[in-house]
Structure 1
């Protein structure tokens, strides 16, 4: 897993360089539609990021629903909508069921998939596919597949914004150097993690809080601790934490 963490900047760089045409094609399909985003586990957290970006950056109406819940929440008939489905493998049963259900209730809906696996079932049943170039991911916990999903989300939101005449030169410029910033951040993080890990492993239950763009990060961070360290951490929106869960926190 550590080696795959260190591979993230290169995977992100490959994705930015190679997905340009796919992003342009998907953006043209999504513009002026209501966009549902979906996924399971880490991919659901990536779908939350895209949902927020579409609303805040692209000025496009959107919502995000976990794949396992999507059939329970969609109305019986929808029009002028799209579904963006995230899955590293492209074979997640819950994601495929969600896509099938969306097809059944949507008269003119389109499906765009974001996957790391070009010949997957999800890619085959989609109208358009954006490939992450994460390469093979051997660890159970998602690392580079998740961060490449995030960069695809930013690219897609920025392209839709551009199509709508929204000028975001600063964000576009930041995206072009993100892989170098990731490399520096990873190097700095490894220097700090040993001491932090020693403290966390003594506290088997806790919370990770985030607000706005960092809320999905809080969810993902908590999932990582549960998956890899068997520590029961829960991600919360920062202010929501005050409404009940704060009672579980010991002083000191």
Structure 2
């Protein structure tokens, strides 16, 4: 699947995945009271894990995200239950961590039931999101949704995940219009800062990653409050800012635009004046984790728009590494 096809396929992928995950959750055992849950992954999966841990803690679960590569050299850990996240199920570091960790239970969240990670863990939750693009689109957003459904299951809550696919479909066309207003200036920028709150840490991390992978932009991801404490000091007209959020982020977008920075604000708020920042208003999702799904869509569109300007096909990586994915059998 080509990258733009993957972007467009996400509403249907989310519908399919939500139903598939809902059907499986009845067979996923509850976590013991007070159990510490470790969410592990690398790359896009790690970014998803960070917003998930934040959301799950709000729901009363003792959840923490750790990059899988931190857990590949020791069996010592602080978890009772591990959720190992890998769309392909072949990420070497996540598989190694799952093999090493001595925990009460492990669950693999994957899109391939016959993958090494699925075979290694005690149980499997299949996202069933269908085909994905080389730079992840459908698999990433379906993973976020599935983690949200799993968190509801374990916390005894019920959320309207059925709304998310329609909201995603409603984002794509208006977001394309906003993105085209800034794509040229982002293409020319020496650096792109992606800034979002801790609840949207998945968007800050994955947004910076996907702009690097797809458009080869030089990027950095930042949490909003940390950004105010020093990382914004180099800002000038050569640095573009992609700001995501409804609170302090709105003021930040205004401030960086006044400094002459190309700026795109993704927000659910009705912002009448953001100085010269371009505003892309998004639907308000039912939870911060669901909002991460909607937030990433305009960033995917921006990555594709800049890639087109640069003549990039977005059909895979230039620098293939032979030790990051377990070989397919």
Q: Distance in 2 between the 1:118 and 1:93 partners? A: 16
Matched, 1:65 2:60: no
Deviation at 1:111, TM superposition (A): 0.7
Matched, 1:228 2:229: no
Please point out which of 130, 140, 143 is paired with 2:137. 143
Q: Output aligned runs, 1:1-252, within 5 Å.
A: 1-26=3-28, 28-29=30-31, 32-57=34-59, 59-71=60-72, 76=76, 78=78, 81-103=80-102, 106=103, 109-137=104-132, 139-162=133-156, 168=157, 172-173=159-160, 175-250=161-236, 251-252=259-260
Give the TM-score normalised by structure 1.
Answer: 0.87
Deviation at 1:127, TM superposition (A): 1.0
Deviation at 1:94, TM superposition (A): 0.6
How many positions carry a matched residue from both structures?
A: 236
Counterpart secondary structure, 1:245: coil
Q: Distance in 2 between the 1:158 and 1:27 partners? A: 13
Give the TM-score normalised by structure 2.
Answer: 0.68
Q: Structure 1: state its 5+ residue gaps.
A: 163-167
Structure 1 residues 31 and 182: CA distance shift in structure 2, 3 A: farther
Contact 1:10–1:179, Cα closer than 8 Å, also in 2? yes
Deviation at 1:27, TM superposition (A): 5.0
Q: Distance in 2 between the 1:112 and 1:24 partners? A: 14
Q: Distance in 2 between the 1:131 and 1:141 partners? A: 20
Counterpart secondary structure, 2:124: strand
Deviation at 1:22, TM superposition (A): 2.4
Counterpart secondary structure, 2:188: coil
Measured against aligned partners, the alpha-carbon deviations of 1:203-249 in whole angstroms (never above 9, x if no partner) come to 03121111132222111111011111111111110011122211111
Partner of 2:263: none
Q: Distance in 2 between the 1:126 and 1:75 partners? A: 15
Structure 1 residues 27 and 11: CA distance shift in structure 2, 3 A: farther
Partner of 1:165: none
Contact 1:110–1:127, Cα closer than 8 Å, also in 2? yes
Q: Distance in 2 between the 1:93 and 1:23 partners? A: 26
Counterpart secondary structure, 1:239: helix
Counterpart secondary structure, 1:90: coil
Q: Which has the higher helix share?
A: 1
Structure 1 residues 202 and 91: CA distance shift in structure 2, 3 A: same
Structure 1 residues 78 and 218: CA distance shift in structure 2, 3 A: closer
Q: Structure 2: state its 5+ residue gaps.
A: 237-258, 261-329
Q: Distance in 2 between the 1:212 and 1:34 partners? A: 20
Q: Distance in 2 between the 1:203 and 1:135 partners? A: 35
Contact 2:131–2:138, Cα closer than 8 Å, also in 1? no
Q: Distance in 2 between the 1:130 and 1:88 partners? A: 11
Contact 2:36–2:78, Cα closer than 8 Å, also in 1? no
Deviation at 1:32, TM superposition (A): 4.0
